[in-house]
C-alpha cells in the first residue's frame, strides 16, 4: 500500500517542457486513472513514479518519502505496459516466475506465489502453455501476473488494454476492477480513453498539455466539469457548446442526453428550432444531430421517434444548462452573472 505525491514537478526533454510545476496526490489504495489526449504527458508522469525517467525538478514522494535517489527496482512499484513484454519461448509459469528467479526468491516461495497469483488472474490451467497459444486477454493476464508476483505497493499501468479488441477490453475492465478490489493496492492507470477512465476509476485525473484540468470521482467529473476541456473530453458525444448571444466570450453547454426533442414547442429555458441532419440508431438509444442556425447539436434519446430532415424543437431545462466564461472555466451557480446568463438564454430561445 502506498500513496504517491508530486510536489512542484517539472519534466523537460531537451528544451521542451512537458510538465510544469505539477502538484498531485494519489491516494493509497485507490484506483486512480490518469486520462487525457495523446501527448499530454501521462506516460511521462508514470515513468517518473517508476523512476525510469526521473523528473527534472521537484519531488516525487512514495508514502511520504522522497524517492528521487531510489532506483526503479527499489520503489515497490510494478509497471504493466501496452506492449507487454512476455517471453515467447517461456511457458506461462516461467514468464511469471522470471522476475522472482532474478531476485533470488527461494524455489518453494516462487512456486507458492506463482500458484496463488495465477489463480487470482485465472491462468492456473494455462501455466504450462506457451504464450503463443493464448488469447490476447490471457496474454495480458500473464503481463499482470508478472507484475503481481513482485507484490508491489503500487501498480502502474500504461494503456494496458489498447491492443485488445473492443469486447475483450470491456471484459478486462471488469477484471481489473475486481483485481483492484481483491488486492486493495494503489493502482495508477493511464489511458486516453475516457470510457475506461469513467468505468474504472475511483478518482480521475484529467490532463491536457501537461497540466491537470480536474481531479474528481467520475460522477463529479461528469456533472461538474471544471472547464470546457473537461466538459468536452468526458462523455460521448461530448457536451454541446455554443456562444451565448450578446455576451462576448461566454458560452452555454448541455449534455446530449439533457436535451428533449419534440415536434411541438414546450416550456424550457433553452428552446430552439432545428432540423434533424443525422440519425444513429444504436439499439437502446438513438443519437440525432440537430442543426439549428449556425449550430449542430448532438442529442441522445432513449426512443427513436424522429427521422432525418424532420423539423423539431430542442429544449433544455434550466438544471441541465452550464455556462463557461472567457477563461473557459465553468461558471458556478453562485456567480453574480449566472441568473443573467440564464435569462438571456430564455430570451434568445425561439419557438
Ligand X SMILES: Nc1ncnc2c1ncn2[C@@H]1O[C@H](COP(=O)(O)OP(=O)(O)O)[C@@H](O)[C@H]1O
Q: Are strands 203-208 and 31-35 parallel, antiparallel or unpaired?
A: parallel
Q: What are phi and psi of 24, to 5 degrees?
A: -160, 140
Q: Is 302 in contact with 334 (CB distance < 8 Å)?
A: no
Q: Is 232 in contact with 254 (CB distance < 8 Å)?
A: no
Residue 213 to residues 35, 78, 94, Cα–Cα distance (Å): 10, 27, 43
Residue 237 to residues 64, 151, 167, 257, Cα–Cα distance (Å): 40, 39, 20, 9
**In terms of CB distance, is 34 or 290 closer to ligand X?**
34
Is residue 18 part of the contact set for ligand X (CB under 6 A)?
yes
| Residues 17 to 56 in contact with Mg ion, rule: CB under 5 A | 43
Binding piece for ligand X, criterion CB under 6 A, among 40-48, 75-83, 213-221, 275-283: 40-48
Length of the chain: 351
CA 228 to chain centre: 16
CB of 79 vs Mg ion, minimal distance in Å: 12
Reading the block at residue 115, the C-alpha cell is 500458484
Return the ∠ at Cα 247 (arms to 245 and 250), rounded to 5°. Answer: 95
Is residue 42 part of the contact set for ligand X (CB under 6 A)?
yes
Q: What are phi and psi of 104, to 5 degrees?
A: 60, 35
Binding at 39: pick from ligand X, Mg ion, none (beta carbon under 5-8 Å per type)? ligand X
Q: Contact with ligand X (CB under 6 A): which of 8, 13, 57, 184?
A: 13
CB of 63 vs ligand X, minimal distance in Å: 24
**In terms of CB distance, is 10 or 82 closer to Mg ion?**
82
Binding piece for ligand X, criterion CB under 6 A, among 36-44, 65-73, 232-240, 334-342: 36-44
**In terms of CB distance, is 190 or 342 closer to ligand X?**
190
Binding piece for ligand X, criterion CB under 6 A, among 32-40, 123-131, 221-229, 338-346: 32-40
Q: Are strands 186-191 and 31-35 parallel, antiparallel or unpaired?
A: parallel
**In terms of CB distance, is 43 or 349 closer to Mg ion?**
43
Q: Contact with ligand X (CB under 6 A): which of 32, 43, 140, 289?
A: 43
CB of 229 vs ligand X, minimal distance in Å: 14
Binding piece for ligand X, criterion CB under 6 A, among 42-50, 83-91, 144-152, 299-307: 42-50
CB of 263 vs ligand X, minimal distance in Å: 45
Reading the block at residue 156, the C-alpha cell is 502502474
| Residues 154 to 213 in contact with ligand X, rule: CB under 6 A | none
**In terms of CB distance, is 38 or 89 closer to ligand X?**
38
Q: Are strands 65-66 and 16-26 parallel, antiparallel or unpaired?
A: unpaired
Binding at 41: pick from ligand X, Mg ion, none (beta carbon under 5-8 Å per type)? ligand X
Residue 347 CB: number of other CB atoms within 10 A? 10
CB of 231 vs ligand X, minimal distance in Å: 20
Is residue 140 part of the contact set for ligand X (CB under 6 A)?
no
Q: Give the position of cell 449556425.
A: 294
Q: Give the position of cell 443525422.
A: 278
Residues that bind Mg ion (CB under 5 A): 43
Residues that bind ligand X (CB under 6 A): 13, 18, 36, 38-44
Amino acid at each position: 500500500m502506498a500513496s504517491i505525491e508530486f510536489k512542484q514537478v517539472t519534466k523537460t526533454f531537451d528544451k521542451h517542457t512537458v510538465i510544469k510545476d505539477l502538484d498531485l496526490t494519489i491516494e493509497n489504495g485507490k484506483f486512480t486513472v490518469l486520462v487525457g489526449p495523446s501527448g499530454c504527458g501521462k506516460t511521462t508522469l508514470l515513468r517518473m513514479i517508476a523512476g525510469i525517467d526521473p523528473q527534472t525538478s521537484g519531488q516525487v514522494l512514495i508514502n511520504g518519502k522522497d524517492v528521487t535517489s531510489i532506483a526503479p527496482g527499489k520503489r515497490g512499484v510494478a509497471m504493466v505496459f501496452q506492449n507487454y513484454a512476455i517471453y515467447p519461448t517461456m511457458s506461462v509459469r516461467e514468464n511469471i516466475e522470471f522476475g522472482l528467479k532474478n531476485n533470488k526468491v527461494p524455489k518453494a516461495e516462487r512456486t507458492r506465489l506463482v500458484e496463488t497469483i495465477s489463480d487470482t488472474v485465472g491462468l492456473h490451467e494455462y501455466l504450462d502453455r506457451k504464450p503463443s497459444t493464448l488469447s490476447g486477454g490471457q496474454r495480458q493476464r500473464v503481463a499482470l501476473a508478472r507484475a503481481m508476483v513482485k507484490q508491489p505497493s503500487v501498480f502502474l499501468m500504461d494503456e494496458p488494454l489498447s491492443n485488445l479488441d473492443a469486447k475483450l477490453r470491456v471484459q478486462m475492465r471488469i477484471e481489473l476492477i475486481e483485481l483492484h478490489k481483491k488486492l486493495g493496492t494503489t493502482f495508477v492507470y493511464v489511458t486516453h480513453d475516457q470510457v475506461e477512465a469513467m468505468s474504472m476509476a475511483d478518482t480521475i485525473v484529467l490532463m491536457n498539455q501537461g497540466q491537470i484540468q480536474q481531479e474528481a470521482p467520475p460522477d463529479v467529473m461528469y456533472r461538474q466539469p471544471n472547464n470546457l476541456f473537461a466538459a468536452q473530453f468526458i462523455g460521448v458525444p461530448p457536451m454541446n457548446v455554443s456562444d451565448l448571444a450578446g455576451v462576448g466570450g461566454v458560452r452555454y453547454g448541455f449534455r446530449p442526453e439533457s436535451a428533449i426533442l419534440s415536434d411541438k414547442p414546450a416550456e424550457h429555458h433553452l428552446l430552439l428550432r432545428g432540423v434533424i441532419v443525422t440519425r444513429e440508431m444504436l439499439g437502446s438509444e438513438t443519437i440525432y444531430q440537430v442543426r439549428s442556425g449556425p449550430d449542430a447539436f448532438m442529442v441522445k434519446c432513449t426512443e427513436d421517434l424522429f427521422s432525418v430532415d424532420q423539423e423539431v424543437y430542442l429544449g433544455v431545462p434550466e438544471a441541465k444548462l452550464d455556462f463557461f466564461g472567457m477563461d473557459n472555466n465553468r461558471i458556478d451557480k453562485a456567480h453574480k452573472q449566472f441568473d443573467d446568463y440564464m435569462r438571456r438564454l430564455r430570451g434568445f430561445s425561439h419557438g
